[in-house]
Amino acid sequence: MEPILEGPVEVRSHLGPDDERSLADDVLDGLTRPLKELPPKHLYDARGSELFDAICELPEYYQTRTERLILEAHAQDIVRRTGAVELVELGSGSATKTRVLLDAMAAAGTLARYIPVDVSATTVHAVAELFADEYPGLSVFGLVADFERHLERLPEPVGPRLVPFLGGTIGNFPPGSRRRFLRSLGKVLGPDGYLLLGTDLVKDPRVIEAAYNDSAGVTAQFNLNVLHVLNRELGADFDVDAFEHVAFFDREREWIEMRLRATQPQHVRIDALDLEIDFAAREELRTEISAKFTLDGLRADLDAAGLELVELFTDPNELFAVSLARVAG
């Protein structure tokens, strides 16, 4: 049997009582708007993260397997080009595709550190333990944190850094915030770091809509789960069965919109906020957008964020793109 040399593993959480506050603030702000809305990060409690993993395995959800194929085809090249010794992964989730990058770094003999960053504490802990076990000598520093607020808490780089931001999660930002967020990554990258950005591409709307309306109903459960989060964390009394999942592609804006629709009039009380809200029959609550990109749009976003596109990889059907970018010189 091979000896298991466990690298040091540490997980730090920057989410605490303040962040229950942040959920409460988001809910107060979002549910009292004329068009009700919630930020998507609250979809990912332990159950939500599990459901998202199930989504990634669905036949209709082409994104995960396509992005994995692109990474498998180009990981060696990416590692050679970047000389990366550490990965700082944003919204790492269960990091199944990250293995492709870690393997390529291990093969090149450059793998030193892995830093998963996610609001989902369960996934950060699980991934930290798993990868410390699987990659002898790897140092793992997990951050349970909000990548919109806590990026200045990252440790100093130990060498050239690669920052994977996969799964099309960048598409969950509305266009203005997306560029602002990309710009904020400049500091995380530093002068010799690279961003590895996964983006879903514009394509036949039927293909996109099917990916968010799977026949097994897993996406619906995932979307509805956010109401369970509010019931549990904020003492709300949403009747979850009285809402239905809606996802449609907005052709003008080139994004998919996820909503929850009240099937009948609802009166909801949220104890922690001392708030009462009403839903009319068929009223909708927006839970997420997921932007789909054109190659030109992607270039324009990177450019506007002070980033320079170094290389763009896609699959033969141009379903998905993975791009390598760095701070513009």
Regarding 168 and contact with ligand TRP (CB under 6 A), the answer is: yes
Residue 55 engages ligand TRP in binding (rule: CB under 6 A): yes
The sign of the CA dihedral 99, 316, 56, 321 is positive
Query: Considering only residues 222, 255, 279, 313, which one is a binding residue for ligand TRP as defined by CB under 6 A?
Result: 222
Q: Smaller CB distance to ligand SAH: residue 14 or 261?
A: 14
Asked if 94 touches ligand TRP (CB under 6 A), the answer is no
Binding site for ligand SAH (CB under 6 A): 41, 44, 49, 52, 56, 64, 91-93, 97, 118-120, 123, 146-148, 166-167, 169
Q: Which residue is nearest to ligand TRP (CB)?
A: 290
Shortest Å distance, C-beta 43 to ligand SAH = 8
Q: 93 is in the binding site of which of ligand SAH, ligand TRP, none (Cβ under 5 to 8 A by kind)?
A: ligand SAH
User: 133 touches which of ligand SAH, ligand TRP, none (CB within 5 to 8 A by kind)?
Assistant: none
290 binds, among ligand TRP, ligand SAH, none (CB under 5 to 8 A by kind): ligand TRP
Among the candidate windows 28-36, 191-199, 286-294, 313-321, which touches ligand TRP by CB under 6 A?
286-294
Q: How far is CA 149 from CA 15, 114, 154, in A?
A: 10, 20, 11
In the complex, minimum distance from the CB of residue 177 to ligand SAH, in angstroms, rounded to a whole number: 11
What is the crossing angle of helices 218-234 and 46-56, to 10°? 170
Q: Minimum distance between the CB of residue 56 and ligand TRP, rounded to whole angstroms?
A: 9
Binding site partner of 44, from ligand SAH, ligand TRP, none, Cβ cut-off 5-8 A by kind: ligand SAH
Minimum CB separation of residue 161 from ligand TRP in Å reads 23
**258 binds ligand TRP per the rule CB under 6 A:** yes
Task: Please give the residue ranges that form the binding site for ligand TRP (CB under 6 A).
Answer: 43, 55, 63, 167-169, 171-172, 212, 219, 222-223, 258, 287-288, 290
